[in-house]
Structure 1
Amino acid sequence: MKQFVAVYGAEPEGVWAAPGRVNLIGEHTDYNDGFVLPFALPQRTVVGASRVDTPEWTVWSEQTGERITFDLSEHVAGWAAYVAGVVWVLREAGFDVPGARMALTSDVPLGAGLSSSAALESSVLTALADLGGLDLPVDERPALAQRAENDYAGMPCGIMDQSASIRCRAGHALFLDCRTLEVEHIPFDVAAAGLAVLVIDTKAPHRHVTGEYAARRTTCEEAAHALGIPALRDATLAMVADLADPVQQRRARHVVTEDQRVLDTVALLRDGRVREIGPLMTASHASMRDDFEITVPEVDTAVEAALSAGAYGARMTGGGFGGCVLALVDADATNKVTSAVTDAFAACGYTPPEPFVAIPGPGATRL
């Protein structure tokens, strides 16, 4: 890894990578013990790493040009918190984490709802587990990476992002039951069906830690408590209709209907009926817009323009308040849909969007 050599003057012991992700469907269901269906992106965070003999960690980021050294005696802030959080959570779990020097580079877009933070955590965790020879099964790693983000970095995310970054397979979507953590790899070869998943980065920045994401999670937990159930995974629409608080009712209705949309999407994909998932994607977006209230004008405009240009379905992906839109389109229609969205953004005076075609890739690995 040339960046590692440039920073530290030696070759790394190894190079590891973990991907960003898009969520095909199933938004804000993970922390409600529900179902999600993400897939890994080709875009990845790559880390070169070598052990050192002292219990300290140095990390350099190509994106910022910063080199930060820490030993966990004080809390680390900023982007390096995601690295320090991984070291911290591994040590909290009883692992003898080796000191290390690391160099990071990434082509996962930042602030676009594509889980750049999970890609960072997952790549570092994979590297440290290998460097230290840690007895850490792959299926136990997402929960540790999630805890690093929740308890150290301060972002109350569910387990979907880290699960996708670590456990996905190329050519498949990851059907994850967020209560049992059981996974099923669902074939998702859109190209074979003559289709493409167009990801449109709306360039509308999303900021979860500002409190909106946490507020949605709190409201869901309050709704579950009001219904006397462990989580909204256990609710029905009839139960939701009995909620006295109208905000809780809307939030819960989204979760209940979104869980069902995930199950319906999985059933269609198992049968190879890829085009037919389009209306479920569009219904998901309407639910996020109207019941969960997490969309912004840029993403709504992108969805409407994509559908008008012939997309089979379109929805925002990620935690909300900005970020990316997915559109399921004919493979030969990507330019047409891209042009329609770009023109719609220009008419509204928005920053030009950045589209790309997403091909389901593998999870975290040593290169």
Structure 2
Amino acid sequence: MSQTPRVEPHAAQASPVPAAGERRGVGAAHAKAILFGEHAVVYGAPAIAIPVDSLTAEATIDVGGPAGLRIASSLYTGPVAGAPARLTPVVTVIRAALERAGLPELARCEASSSTAANSSAPGAVAEGPGATVTIASSIPHERGLGSSAAVAAAIARAAFDLAGAELDSETLFDLIQTAERVAHGTPSGIDARTVAATGAIRFNRGSVAPIRIGEPLILAFADTGHPGSTAQAVASVQALRAREPASTDALLSRLAEIAEHSIDDLAMGDRGAVGAAMSEAHAILHRVGVSSDRLDAIVAAACDAGATGAKLTGGGLGGCIIAVADSEAHAEQIGVAMRGAGAERTWTVEVPAA
């Protein structure tokens, strides 16, 4: 998938080369974006999603050095036992992946006494082997691009690479979902499937099917600079559905219809139809309460700049916008307009014909 980001959201840092005698496992995964079907997918409707290869998460696991299990990342560096609560999904998948890969001695390399159990405490001495999990990601956090799922996938792949074990697709999915349940409560599974996909997919009730892209699809992405909250947005829609079941179900059904009809539009390479579908989908997402003034302003700016359509992608209440452009040059122009409307950064993604 040929994709050229205009601005890298975060700079990934390479991990140091392991010393002689140390073992290393490496893994990586890409971001994702939902084209159609947000929120309706929670109720069993189909959704269409694409991998975003230009934004990646990378993980390395190095065995050696001081005893104990450690994390090194832009959010926290130190013993796993001292990791902040926001990294609980990461800690969960590190331990689960090492266990599933056949490396329980690393997953459990904690101190044996209550005093030493928190190896960040003064004077604590961890027992057992030592390992450091280094995480680097260019995927913006909490923007609806699958950051947590991609990090989990990268860690799982690194653990199995370290063990020299084969990682099948279902085990990978299960491990990502282990982290996603901690991060999001009851994830649909679309993030876990798409960060491991090699092309556009139709996701429905856990099943995945590849879809055809008839002509290259040029998308201008914009980051609002505000974090989204999938859990909060899903809860908001659930509350609306409880208050107004008939009208909310009608809107969610229409989102499902748009997603299903888009498969033919994408196969025919009809950018106009794809863009029109995106604009209609965004209007519905606004009506169910998961858009925001900033999201709406950026969508409007994209359309004023000639995008055939634009919408939020992901849970909403922040996060990112996608807009359909005629060319890469046009996507750059749309990006300028979206930044003028308040977007923090923009980049261009090309979904190739496939």
Q: TM-score range by the shorter chain?
A: 0.7 to 0.9
* Inter-CA distance 12–88: structure 2 relative to 1 (3 Å threshold): closer
* AA matched with 1:123: A
Is 1:276 paired with 2:273? yes
Q: Distance in 2 between matches of 1:77 and 1:284?
A: 37
Residue of structure 2 equivalent to 1:38? 49
Aligned residue runs from structure 1 range 157-306, under 5 A: 157-166=187-196, 168-169=197-198, 172-177=199-204, 179-187=205-213, 190=216, 196-209=218-231, 211-216=232-237, 218-219=238-239, 246-290=243-287, 292-306=288-302
Shift of 1:147: 3.1
Q: Secondary structure at the match of 2:244?
A: helix
* Inter-CA distance 255–181: structure 2 relative to 1 (3 Å threshold): same
Give 5+ residue unaligned stretches, structure 2. Answer: 1-11, 107-130
Q: Secondary structure at the match of 1:4?
A: coil
Q: Contact between 2:97 and 2:159, CA under 8 Å: does it hold in 1?
A: no
Within the candidate set 88, 91, 102, 1:84 is matched to 91
Is 1:341 paired with 2:338? yes
* Inter-CA distance 12–136: structure 2 relative to 1 (3 Å threshold): closer
* Inter-CA distance 303–247: structure 2 relative to 1 (3 Å threshold): same
Give 5+ residue unaligned stretches, structure 1. Answer: 224-244, 346-351, 362-367
* AA matched with 2:102: D
Shift of 1:18: 0.7
* AA matched with 1:308: D
Shift of 1:111: 2.5
Q: Secondary structure at the match of 2:219?
A: strand
Q: Contact between 2:271 and 2:308, CA under 8 Å: does it hold in 1?
A: no
Q: Contact between 2:25 and 2:163, CA under 8 Å: does it hold in 1?
A: no
Residue of structure 2 equivalent to 1:118? 149
Is 1:127 paired with 2:124? no
Q: Distance in 2 between matches of 1:9 and 1:251?
A: 58
Identity of aligned residues (%): 22
Aligned residue runs from structure 1 range 306-345, under 5 A: 306-331=302-327, 332-345=329-342
Q: Secondary structure at the match of 1:47?
A: strand
Q: Distance in 2 between matches of 1:185 and 1:66?
A: 40
CA deviations 1:195-254 (Å, max 9, x no partner) are 520001111222345x443343x459xx6xxxxxxxxxxxxxxxxxxxxx5533343223
Q: Secondary structure at the match of 1:249?
A: helix
* AA matched with 2:333: K
Q: Secondary structure at the match of 2:274?
A: helix
Q: Return 105-114 or 297-306, whichever deviates more.
A: 105-114
Q: Distance in 1 between matches of 2:253 and 2:226?
A: 28
Q: Distance in 2 between matches of 1:55 and 1:213?
A: 42
Shift of 1:45: 0.7
Is 1:149 paired with 2:206? no
Q: Contact between 1:82 and 1:153, CA under 8 Å: does it hold in 2?
A: yes
* Inter-CA distance 57–173: structure 2 relative to 1 (3 Å threshold): same
Is 1:354 paired with 2:351? no
Q: Distance in 2 between matches of 1:319 and 1:259?
A: 15
Is 1:108 paired with 2:139? yes
Q: What's the TM-score once normalised by structure 1's chain length?
A: 0.75
CA deviations 1:304-355 (Å, max 9, x no partner) are 111122111100001110011000011131233223223333xxxxxx5311
Shift of 1:302: 0.7
* Inter-CA distance 125–30: structure 2 relative to 1 (3 Å threshold): farther
Shift of 1:78: 3.0
Q: Contact between 1:219 and 1:251, CA under 8 Å: does it hold in 2?
A: no
* AA matched with 2:153: S
* Inter-CA distance 252–269: structure 2 relative to 1 (3 Å threshold): same
* Inter-CA distance 141–333: structure 2 relative to 1 (3 Å threshold): same
* Inter-CA distance 336–360: structure 2 relative to 1 (3 Å threshold): closer
Q: Contact between 2:48 and 2:200, CA under 8 Å: does it hold in 1?
A: yes
Is 1:60 paired with 2:72? yes
Q: Distance in 1 between matches of 2:64 and 2:36?
A: 42
Pairwise CA RMSD: 3.0
CA deviations 1:89-143 (Å, max 9, x no partner) are 5589x66345242111111112322121111111111222332345542144224
Q: Contact between 1:146 and 1:158, CA under 8 Å: does it hold in 2?
A: no
Is 1:69 paired with 2:73? no
Shift of 1:360: 4.4
Shift of 1:300: 0.3
Shift of 1:60: 0.8
Q: Distance in 2 between matches of 1:159 and 1:282?
A: 25
Q: What's the TM-score once normalised by structure 2's chain length?
A: 0.78
Is 1:24 paired with 2:31? no
* AA matched with 2:195: S
* AA matched with 1:66: T
The aligned length equals: 313
